[in-house]
Amino acid sequence: MTSLSAARLKKFFLPLIIGFLGLVLIVLAGALWYGEATAEVTITPLAKPISATFDLVLIKDTDQAAAGQLAAKITETKMTETVSATPPAEGALVDAHAGGTMTVINDTDRAQPLMAGTRFKSTDGVIVRSDRRIDVPAHGQTTVHVTADPVGETGNLPPGRFIIVALWSATQSKIYGRTDTALVGGQIRAGSTLDVSTLTTASNQADKLIQDKFGVSTPGEFHQIIPDQVSSNPPASQASDRYQVTVTVKARTITYDSASLSAKARQELNKKIEPGLELFSTLEPIIAIPNDNRNIFRVTIEGVAAIKSSNANLQAANLVNLTKDEVNQRLTSTGLIKNASVSISPAWQNTLPSNTSHIRVIRLDPAA
């Protein structure tokens, strides 16, 4: 039988023991809770827009494509479209610039480039100028539209031979222009003949029809339309109440590997990136052909650079045991981060855990 004193001791110490055990359990739970704390650091980098424009020479051999080159297949066909044009009402005769088509012949062993506006002189000394740049192949020929300098009937010239003023006299006999039909249009009847404004409108309509048929460029397939010839029936200088305007173009399709072009474009962008940044995202490259050069792509690409994911400030090892304010201060002071937010679980804790595996750094899209 339990003595009275033993019962009293039991009654006194039992609550103390239970309370002590409860306190120990709370401390252990807190320690475990602290040890399992996790943190997420979310950063929004500063967006650094970058762009690059560069040329790629188009070649046929895929295996030989080097830096500055792009393998491509080029096909070309002629496309023609005819539209009707009605001139304004009949008016008086007015002076204008005569024009027509000239064949440029090259009897030398080297190709000859001729810029737009090249001067050709007739045997009578009348100057006419080419309307666009041309490249005359060696021992070959090409055609170009020319316009007479003088206004009026002086520019109406019969078929004949023209020297190129800018060439040496010894070369002028080997590289020259020739017209097989007369240059006309030096004097027209305003409102009854095909005036420039009406011809331009009709030509634009025909160009649009050709473009619609040919289609637009897509990644991997570039479409290029090269103007070739504009003509009218009857001729523009002949009075008529209606004309048929015919536009002829060279339609070129350039097929290439869009992935290769994008990779080269990203390489060019990477050359523009400042230290401490890396390429984050890019837009689709934009292609053009400069100066009617048919073997070059001029590529423009735009992108966004942001702080490198490998930056030491973003590594969990450099964030352990820091407070939320210290983390924010460290990251934003780099000048490469727009803002940073820290979330810690449990919520009452203000210090990041010491265990790097419990810290997660999230880099958002800089455009967000």
Return the HEC string of 240-269: CCCEEEEEEEEEEEEEECHHHHHHHHHHHH
Buried b (16+ CB within 10 A) or exposed e, 235-270: bbbeebeebebbbbbebbbbebeeebbbebbeebbe
Q: Is the pTM for the entire model greater than 0.85?
A: no
Q: For residue 304, what is the DSSP state?
A: E
pLDDT score of 188? 79
pLDDT score of 4? 52
Across 339-368, average pLDDT: 89
pLDDT of 6 higher than 70:
no
Long-range contacts of 53-61 (CB under 8 A, 24+ apart): 53/298, 53/299, 53/300, 54/265, 54/268, 54/298, 54/299, 55/290, 55/296, 55/297, 55/298, 55/299, 56/261, 56/264, 56/296, 56/297, 56/299, 57/295, 57/296, 58/254, 58/256, 58/295, 58/296, 58/297
Averaged pLDDT score across all residues of the chain: 88
Percent of the chain scoring above 70 in pLDDT:
89
Across 175-187, average pLDDT: 94
Of the pLDDT bands very low, low, confident and very high (cuts 50, 70, 90), residue 320 is: very high
pLDDT digits (tens, 9 = 90+) for 236-246: 888 777 899 99
pLDDT score of 195? 85
67 vs 62, more confident: 67
Q: What are phi and psi of 85, to 5 degrees?
A: -140, 135
210 vs 30, more confident: 210
Of the pLDDT bands very low, low, confident and very high (cuts 50, 70, 90), residue 30 is: low
Q: What tokens does 251 get?
A: 């339609």
Q: Which residues contact 134 (CB under 8 A, 6 or more apart)?
A: 104, 113, 114, 142, 144
Distance of CA 295 to the CA centre of its chain: 17
Across 104-123, average pLDDT: 97
Q: Which of 61-65, 119-123, 150-154, 262-266 has the lowest mean pLDDT?
A: 61-65
Across 43-48, average pLDDT: 91
pLDDT digits (tens, 9 = 90+) for 212-252: 999 999 999 999 999 999 999 988 888 777 899 999 999 99
pLDDT digits (tens, 9 = 90+) for 293-315: 778 999 999 999 999 988 998 99
Of the pLDDT bands very low, low, confident and very high (cuts 50, 70, 90), residue 74 is: very high
Across 269-294, average pLDDT: 89
pLDDT score of 1? 47
